[in-house]
Amino acid sequence: MQIFQQYIGGAFSDGASQFDSLDPATGAPWAKMAEASVADVNAAVDAAEAAFFAPEWADMTATARGKLLSRLADLVAEHAPRLAEIETRDTGKIIRETSAQIAYVAEYFRYFAGLADKIEGAHLPIDKPDMEVWLCREPVGVIAAVVPWNSQLFLSAVKIGPALAAGCTVVLKASEEAPAPMLEFAKIFDLAGFPKGVLNVITGGPDAGAALTAHPKVAHVAFTGGPETARHIVRNSAENLASTSLELGGKSPFIVFEDADIDSAVNAQVSGIFAASGQSCVAGSRLLVQASIKDEFLARLKEKAEAVVIGAPDDMATEVGPLCTLRQRSNAEDLIAHSVAAGAKLITGGKAIARDGFYFPPTILDCSDAPDAPSLSNEFFGPVLSVVTFKDEAEAIRLANDTEFGLASGVFTQNLTRAHRMIRGIRSGIVWVNTYRAVSPIAPFGGHGLSGHGREGGLQAVLDYTKIKTVWLRTSDDPIPDPFVMR
């Protein structure tokens, strides 16, 4: 079996213990991962703090930081095939998706490299004649970045990239589920030439996560995952008063009006819910379709879903691979059963595929007559679509906003003024119109409600890893008057 080590202070080690990682395509162990103890977490944070204050990093110019990030981008692009192979093996995500996504991850590092020396301050027109006052931005300090297993190289890039561009240092904790890609990424980072300790990569379960997010030397916690874990992180941050940015997934509405390009909308819905086997925080898992086209739309969607090629994730012909864990598959089966009991109609799929591994087919549930079906409110993190109908715009907006989440949404219509009304009415951090799942390093990404707060991507992402310093400079040569002498 392959062995993956943690990365602390510029050195690789096995950690306090090891655990097996399962291949989702077979259900069998394929590699051993280093598991961080609390002592390992403390060592990683100490290394990050030492690097933050060391002159090799603290005195490095912003332009030089950008050049290092550009070097990292080049290395990620160079090693993308290896990273894709490992991510596919450890997570079950199909190779054609990991290959494309990791190649694009390099562009994120390249974008943030370009922003490193674009972080500007300001001069204030202060109301005192003998003072000059200006603002400068400084890095906040040590960042705790906590990422899940799905799309982890992308979710790490949108944390590591802006944090290092701002001059921070990072301890990244990979998920205990399928962490191999991040531990492999540490090897690539080591080649880039950053000072030791600027990035540290560990993995582990709740104990490691709690020790990291509550650590007194951590200034900011950047987390992607579920709301329940986020609540623990927010409670932990009360110990160190660290700021937080939280990206927590969603239950995103995919809205199709009767005037939409049906072929385009069907293809986008297939991509929006079945790509990555539905294991995406922006999965369009709630289809809201206008009642007048429901039958036609579902017929086309069912045909597409049943034609999807399910197979080994390392096969370029595969379109949907296994889920990452057995727990996810069991959760999907339970939620579907409860939804059917609540009145939902199973259109296709719904049962685990009888083969080795954690395979689950594209599934469609018609919940038009089952408004209380749990599939409408719970995030499956699997290829399961719940369908409801609406009559008009007002009902579409009401249904779209009938969720505690608020990350993404999609609107399909040829009516431009309607599109603008929907954009204005939907409460979500992202609205895609006549497209879905488009991302770019230039565009901020994030939500509100139970989808969290903060934004990843764009200039704002870099600014979020800085703090403002206000500088006062007295310009008068006259002595400061004695404050206790009455004049």
- 3 state SS of 84: helix
- 3 state SS of 94: coil
At position 152, the amino acid (one-letter code) is: Q
**Residue 247 annotated in active site:** yes
Cβ(25)–Cβ(93) below 8 Å: no
Instruction: For 122-261, list the strands marked E by DSSP.
Output: 122-124, 131-139, 142-146, 169-174, 199-203, 218-224, 243-247, 253-256
Between CA 176 and CA 103 the distance in angstroms is 24
Two structure tokens written together for 147? 């990422």
CA-based torsion, 153, 158, 161, 163: positive or negative: negative
Terminal Cα-to-Cα distance of the chain (whole angstroms) = 84
- 3 state SS of 82: helix
Catalytic residue among 35, 177, 184, 247: 247
- List 290's β-bridge partners, or say none: 390
DSSP string computed for 410-448? EEE-S-HHHHHHHHHH--SS--EES--S---TTS-B---
Cβ(273)–Cβ(385) below 8 Å: yes
Cβ(13)–Cβ(200) below 8 Å: no
Active-site residues, by number, are 247
